[in-house]
Amino acid sequence: MNILRCAFAGAAMTLSVVSGALAADLPVKARSAQYLKICSQYGAGFFYIPDTDTCIKLGGFLRIDTTFNGNVYGLPAWSGDLGQGNRYFDYFVGRSRLGVTVDTRTDTPYGLLRAFGQFDLQFNNFSTANPTALTTTSFGTPFGLNSGLLSNAGGGYVPVDPVFIQFAGFTIGKSASAYATPWHGYPGNNTSYLMGGHDTVTGVNNIQYTAQFGNGVTGSVGLDDPTVFNRTVLFNLSTGTNAVGLGANAYAGTRAPDVVGRIRVDQAWGLVQFSVAAHEVAASYNALAFSASPTNSSETSGHPDAKWGGSAMAALQIKNIPTGANDDFKIEASYARGITKNVISTSTSSPSFAMFGGSSRAGAYQSIGFGATTDAVFLPAFAGGTGDLKLTTSYGLRGAFNHNWNPFWSSSLFGSASAVRYAGNASDITTAMGQYCTSYIASTGGLATKSADFRCNPNFNVYQAGFVTRWTPVKNLTFSGEVQFVALDQKFTGTSVLPAAAPKPATVYEYKNQNTAYLNVRVQRNF
């Protein structure tokens, strides 16, 4: 017992000494909390990152939308299962997206240093894909679902929008092209598929420099990576086309950036801008498989010489027009040769068109209208062509009138007209149209399957007209409804027996203009 008492006493004395030592180390007064400091020089929402001279702003939006008779974000039914109108297309498709932005800014002796990024947490269905789409391309049906996009219950994916650094007048990273207008493809619409001009709203890898000349006048030059955004496709016509005039992409690897520039004048009354771009079009090889993949004879077959194409755009915005406070009008006109993406443009890739409808022509199963969007075509000499690249020409017009009824309601009327042209005529094999038609006719069964009034002409026009109304019951919360009508004006005439592409049969189809319409509803909360 004495031993135990001594042990406990020793332990108590030890704890007392240790506790006293720890107590002596405690601060007499707790340090005050460090609160965030507002950074007002860059506008509302910025605050200083603690212990730095850098300001940061966190923001974003939550957007939920559904499109009826179309795909997400107002994609019209102009291709794939939607364009066919078969039993695989969904009557409605929805998307839920949380966009998060991070904007940091620091004053330096060289001017503003800014780093900006946006990423989106997103879920939507990708439509019920026709199972044959994995193996057939006859009617341009879409490829099967990419499981990497996680379109499944509880899934989702993260796309990346602009991510760039600005310093001393330079912008480096994934950002809007120096060619672009401030509104890109959104002069007044919700849809991400209003064509007729340029659109890099989600960013393209580039480097650009902007000079300030005073009085609202700026000039920008830049180098854009064309691989993702600025190319459509290039057809080697010796590999053939399918029933809706599409061939495999025979572009070579990227060899040169696009060179772009603009002059812009911003004033209280509005904006005026002129943009130009140069784009290299380069093909892979003359001898390719149908899928445009190389063969053992590709390298020895040679290739066409590369060509440079280009585009130009003029844009105008007029603010505070007499119809109402903060009303405005935007319009732009574009011309392109060999860079069709600057006319047939969306927030993603450039579409080609394949639409089906009814027919009153005797013996015809259905009608068909299509338009192939390309930067160029060529037919090698061994296939009877001239072997050189034939650049595709395109031009477009796009605009919107935006009206505010009161602080809670607003509407926009928008539209566009776009055209794609292949030079020459169907009977002249030295021209783009002659080479295209030679390939199309050979690929779809020859003249024996065509009607007497059949005429091959791959030129086409696309017209779009839409209307959107928005209700903002409280600040930064908007409900909207949008309708759009799309008309495809194709130039083929007559009928043809086209090969099967399940579920479509091999039978007689009439070439005919097509149209479609959709309804999109959306709710968005900005923060």
Q: Where are the domains of the chain?
A: 57-526
Look-up: residue for tokens 């209208």?
A: 369
Averages of pLDDT over runs of 10 residues in the chain (527 residues) are 43 42 48 74 94 96 96 94 92 94 96 96 76 46 47 75 97 98 98 97 96 97 94 96 93 97 97 98 96 94 98 97 94 98 94 96 96 98 96 98 97 98 96 97 85 96 98 98 98 93 91 98 97
Is residue 45 left, alpha or beta, with left meaning phi > 0 and alpha meaning psi from -120 to 50?
Answer: left
DSSP summary character for residue 240: -
Res 447: pLDDT: 75
Res 86: pLDDT: 92
Asked if residue 265 lies in contact with residue 216, where contact means CB atoms within 8 angstroms, the answer is yes
Res 21: pLDDT: 44
> Position 417: which residue type?
A
> Which of 348-375 are b and which e, b meaning 16 or more Cβ less than 10 Å from the residue's Cβ?
eebbbbbbbbebebeebbbbbbbbbbbb
Closest to 136 in 3D by CA, of 506, 493, 515: 506
Residues 165, 205: Cα–Cα separation, whole Å: 12
Give the pair of three-digit tokens for residue 9: 């006493």
Res 342: pLDDT: 98
Query: Across the beta sheet with 353-357, what order do the strands follow?
Result: 353-357, 366-371, 507-511, 495-498
DSSP summary character for residue 137: -
Stated pTM of the model:
0.89
Give the pair of three-digit tokens for residue 366: 């259905």
Res 499: pLDDT: 87
Res 3: pLDDT: 43
Res 154: pLDDT: 66
Residues 52, 50: Cα–Cα separation, whole Å: 6
Q: SS3 for 80?
A: helix
Q: How many residues does the chain have?
A: 527
Residues 145, 133: Cα–Cα separation, whole Å: 10
What are residue 199's phi and psi, to 5 degrees? -160, 110
Res 505: pLDDT: 93
pLDDT tens digits, one per residue of 278-334: 999 999 999 999 889 999 999 999 999 999 999 999 999 999 999 988 999 999 999
Asked if residue 385 lies in contact with residue 379, where contact means CB atoms within 8 angstroms, the answer is yes
User: Which burial class, exposed, middle or buried, applies to 502 when counting CB atoms under 10 A from its CB (0-12, 13-18, 19+)?
Assistant: middle
In CATH terms, the fold of domain 57-526 is Porin (2.40.160)
